[in-house]
Amino acid sequence: MLVFAFNLLVFFPRLVLAQNSKSNIATGARKTIALLDYVSQDYDKAVVKGQVLNKEEYQEMLDFSEQTKSIFDTLALKVRIPNALTIHGELQNLSLLIKQKQAKEKVESIAQSAKKKILLLNLIELSPASWPSMEAGKKLFTANCQSCHGPTGAGHLQLHLHHVLLIF
């Protein structure tokens, strides 16, 4: 495997490096989004009414918002992001709001706003890499759905939900 990778690198360096940086970029973008969601959801476990409720959680909020900023800045060096400054500003603001122990609504709203902008950059493939397999789908359908929906996946069932409940 290593030899194979080495050969690829020697003969097609552009291909390998391009692939590699493309997946790094997607990983970075995914990570910023996950961190922003985490901060949005868990901030109220760290700070309530301007007071630190849990020191470790609060430290995490500080660390995660810094990390998000640095991952994003690295991404912005690798790919052209037209609104990079706006996003950077929002992430900077997020850090500041957390440092000031501001209300959850403010923290959440700026984190979600930055997240939305990062999602819109299309750095992450949202569609599956390959077509869904009809074979695998057919097997699943036959095993789990056919008993009620019939072989053709009928929608207008004679049976209604309360009947199904009675059967169960």
Separation between Cα atoms, residue 102 and residue 135, nearest integer Å: 53
Under rule CB under 6 A, residue 164 binds ligand HEC: yes
Q: Any idea what DSSP says for residue 53?
A: S
DSSP secondary structure string, 122-157? T-S--S-SSPPPHHHHHHHHHHHTHHHHTTTT-SS-
Under rule CB under 6 A, residue 161 binds ligand HEC: yes
Under rule CB under 6 A, residue 147 binds ligand HEC: yes
Under rule CB under 6 A, residue 144 binds ligand HEC: yes
Task: Give ∠ CA 99-102-103 in degrees, rounded to 5.
Answer: 145
Among 5, 15, 96, 145, interactor with ligand HEC by CB under 6 A: 145
CB of 144 to ligand HEC, least distance (A): 4
Under rule CB under 6 A, residue 5 binds ligand HEC: no
Q: Which residues of this protein are in contact with ligand HEC, per CB under 6 A? A: 144-145, 147-149, 155-157, 159-161, 164
